[in-house]
A and B are shown apart, each in its own frame.
Chain A
Amino acid sequence: MNTPPDGASTRFDHPDMVLCPGGPMLLRGKHTIMDADGVEHETTRPVTAVCRCDKSASFPWCDGTHKVLPDRLRPA
């Protein structure tokens, strides 16, 4: 039997924002993001991936485009 070791007192990391190495920023919760042209975009899902490479065709949301960029153009 597998007995997960989590004790009842364990506190887990659950940040509101996560910077994914080489990829997007994950954003938990409901937010409004204003892009460079002043247009507001509302998040619609519990966790949203926000583009950090500036190359997404769904900007400001991530569409996976960072994966086809050379390493030097990917976010840190």
Chain B
Amino acid sequence: MQIPQPRGPLTEALFSALRSVSDDFYSVLAVGSSDGEDAALALWVLYELHYLGFDDVPDALEWDPQLLRLRSVLERDLELRLRERFTAPQGLSVVDDLLDWVDEQDGASVAGHVHRYADREQVIELLRVRSIYHLKESDPVAWVVPRLGVAAKAALMELQFDEYGNGDPNRLHHHLYARGMEASGLEASYGAHIDEAPLEVLEQNNAMSLFGLHRRLRGAALGHLAAFEATSSLPSRRMAQGLERLGFPAEMVEYYTEHLEADAVHEQLAVRTICGGLLADEPELAEDVWFGAFTCLDLEDRFAQAMLERWGLGEERQEEVA
């Protein structure tokens, strides 16, 4: 992957410095903080140094202290904004109540629109921007594994093993997505569509990396995982039916049919054994688990609203497809 197109003064300065041979980033730090897409894309690029990196950036910059400093400034802003939107539910238990709580939240849904109404161009746009996450599916939560006690660690690996294909690379979920994209005539290489990713996609990605990369946020990472899995099966059915309605190839449909069964298992494991295991060891992390779960649903709601608005759907129609 190449460094994306900049979207403001911070990414202009950062990307040009990353591509230069110098490792002096004081000029970037001097730009200071930024906001909106500019800040989100800067943080996304800094996080990517920890995943697959960029063809035009030296690998050694992953641990450059000045870049880590910039990353921490951007992360602090992001975490503050996410926490400001969150109120912890009172009197609920993660293990007993989280799945019902997720069902009661009433966010906007792109899957409902794809199921019955979306046209081919809208679905292609959705598949492209969703690829920013789906082509690294499950990777952000993999950072959490060594930070857990015995029960939660074994439980997370039981789920992750399935995400990564149970040893069969042909069944690895992000590879299923790449195969689906390719069969649909779309560029399927990692990060290929980053220049079209709206702010909401960058924030969804950044929140997962933030939770995954910080040990102190392990509760939020696992709460996010639980909410993500708990909102996957039924929407995956609607996605699969919408893709079939529009004549998309079987490989693309299969990604979603795999998820409707896999995630019916994963949501139970994520809540009962993974979050349950974590909280048996560290009950004081319950509020962080809720914070991660809330953030997952909140960011998906904001993403869905942004896409439905972009496609010209008013609030009334948004409720109809929810």
Contact = CB atoms under 8 A, between A and B. Distances in A.
B268 A12 contact: no
Contact of B147 (A2, A26, A62): A2
Given A20-B272, A57-B237, A46 B150 contact: no
A47 B162 contact: yes
B281 A45 contact: no
A6 B149 contact: yes
Contacts of A12: 150-151, 154
Interface residues of B, number: 30
Contact of B148 (A4, A26, A45, A67): A4
Contacts of A67: 99, 103, 234
Interface in B160-217: 161-162, 166, 215
Contacts of B13: none
A32 interface: no
B265 interface: yes
Contacts of A57: 237
The secondary-structure label for the interface of chain A is loop
A53 B197 CA distance: 39
B264 A63 contact: yes
Contact of B261 (A5, A20, A23, A62): A62
Interface of B: 96, 99-100, 103, 147-151, 154, 158, 161-162, 166, 215, 233-234, 237, 260-265, 267-269, 272, 281-282
A6 B265 contact: no
A48 B158 CA distance: 12
B162 A63 contact: no
A58 B261 contact: yes
A10 B150 contact: yes
Contact of B268 (A10, A23, A46): A23
B282 A2 contact: yes
Interface residues on A, range: 20 to 34
B269 A6 contact: no
Nearest to B284: A2
Contacts of B215: 2
B268 A26 contact: yes
A58 B260 CA distance: 9
Contacts of A21: 96
A6 B264 contact: no
